[in-house]
Structures are given as C-alpha cells and as structure tokens.
Structure 1
Amino acid sequence: MIQLLEEPRGVTYQQLISLAFSICDEFILVKRDQIELSGKGEEFLKEIKPYIKEIKKQDHWPGTQLFGLNADVYYLDCKDELQEILLTRADRLYAWMQPELLEDLCFYKNGEEWLITTAHEEMGSINTKESQDILKLREVEDIMMY
C-alpha cells in the first residue's frame, strides 16, 4: 500500500486521475443524506447521471463507516467522458466534498480498492503491489508517497 502524504493538486491531480482511469475499471462517488447539495453539486449530479450504472444505499465505503446513517454510493465505469468531467470539476483530490461536489472519490481495479480518499479528513491511499502500477505512479509529477 502506498500512502499519499500530501494532497495531489494541479498537474499532480490531473496525472493521478488520468492514471487511475488508465489502470482502473470503476470508481465511486458518495452523496451523504444529511448534507444538501448546492446548486453546483446538483448540476454535477445531473452531468454524471447518464453514466451512473448503480446507486446503493450504504453505511460504509472505502475509508468511511457511518453509524446510524446512510449515503447514496454512485458506481460508475471509467470512461473518457467521465475522466474529462473529473478533471474539469476539481483541481485537487480532496475537493471531492459536498455540498459543491459528491464525496470520497475512490477507484477500483478488478473489484479491488485502488485509490481511496476520505476528503473531509484529507486522507488518501493507493493500494497496489503491482510493480507496473508502482512504476507508473513514480512518473506522476510531484506525488508524495511512501
């Protein structure tokens, strides 16, 4: 497991998201029931709606466990159109928070967690043991990891 020490921003964020889309096949975003979306957040949700393949009511997702509360977890395939949306809607990894956006962007590779974020806590990690993934991560400009 490789931990991100500092929040990927700007070019580093763009390169990390592009890498995630090239390596992974699915990602999730979360809408918590107890936090209203702003107008910008509602607009974002409408923009991704055609690409949502499944919505599950859950009390947990990678990096988060709710107690007595639920959230809508949106499952989406890694498609070029969605990559462009993620790159234009945010310029840093921990910007994925309500009310402006959905929360806790996480990527999956073959059903396994690959990139996990908990945006409110500004925490993120990449889970991989594959040398090919690690080599590609080392090419991401200014990424701070161990």
Structure 2
Amino acid sequence: MMVRENIEGERYHQLLELLVKHCDRFAFVERRDMMENEETRLAYIEDWTGDIQEDLIERKIQKRWVTTTLFGATAYVFYYHFNNRTKRFLKEQSRTLFDWVSPELPEDLMFYHQDTCMLAGCSHEGYFMVDEALWNTFSSS
C-alpha cells in the first residue's frame, strides 16, 4: 500500500523498532548519474557507514528497485543486515523517513524480510510503499 505521510521524530523511531522485529536487512540507493565524482562519493559512503561496515551484505549496480526504474542510468544499492546496531545508525542519521534524499543522505530507504520488501521509501516523491499488515500494526500502536 502507498502512504503519503512523512513519519517523523519519535514515530520514526517507533517505526524502526517495529521494522527491526520484522525485517532482516535494509538497503539504500546512490544514483550514479547524480554523483559529481563517483569515486569521491563512494569513499564518502564507506566512511559515513564506517560503524556498520561489518553489516554490509553487498553493493549491487541496479537499474531497478521497489520504487524506481531507471532508463539509461544505474545506481548502487547497498544492502545491510538489519539489527540493533544498524537500527541505531539509522536513528542517528535521520529524524524522519523522508530525510533520505541525496546529497545529504542516500535515497530510497528500503526494509526487507528475506526477499519481500516490507517498506520502501521514495522521499523525493513524498511517499513510501509498505506491507499493509505491518502498517496496520504500526498505525494502531
């Protein structure tokens, strides 16, 4: 289901707490066509994620992910284990779900349970896709 509500402050933290109970990994996107200097940006991302580097699963070049399909361009999608350490990192980096916009932060924060995407943000468009049962649990709490 699509939601056009920015989750902010304490509600953002509560959402991350719920997601860590239901998801085993998360991802974010760095679009290659939006990088001024790819080598410099990748070095920045590596340094910025230094505290969670051991949780990095893989970095893939993709044209498509849950909220976006690129035509003629590609992006790096960084996949991490989602656990208490990485949850803490996400809480420290942002106060809202829609803060995930380049160049301040990577884009399109996504959370997965195995191969199923449970939540995928598209901050620059002002919406996110979320599993309906997960959203009902969150919105009723």
CA distance in 2, matches of 1:8, 1:76: 22
Percent identity at matched positions? Answer: 29
Deviation at 1:80, TM superposition (A): 0.8
**Contact 2:29–2:106 (CA under 8 A) maintained in structure 1:** yes
**Contact 2:56–2:79 (CA under 8 A) maintained in structure 1:** yes
Q: Which runs of 5+ in 2 are unaligned?
A: 36-40
Deviation at 1:43, TM superposition (A): 4.0
**Contact 1:118–1:124 (CA under 8 A) maintained in structure 2:** yes
Q: Residue type matched to 1:81 in 2?
A: R
Higher helix share: 2
**Contact 1:40–1:101 (CA under 8 A) maintained in structure 2:** no
Aligned pair 1:54/2:55, yes or no? no
**Aligned positions of 1:1-146 closer than 5 A:** 1=1, 3-36=2-35, 37=41, 43-128=47-132, 130=133, 133=134, 136-140=137-141
CA distance in 2, matches of 1:57, 1:91: 28
CA distance in 2, matches of 1:45, 1:68: 28
Deviation at 1:57, TM superposition (A): 0.5
Normalising by the residue count of structure 2, what TM-score does the alignment of the two structures yield? 0.84
Matching residue of 1:143: none
Q: How many residues align?
A: 136
Normalising by the residue count of structure 1, what TM-score does the alignment of the two structures yield? 0.82
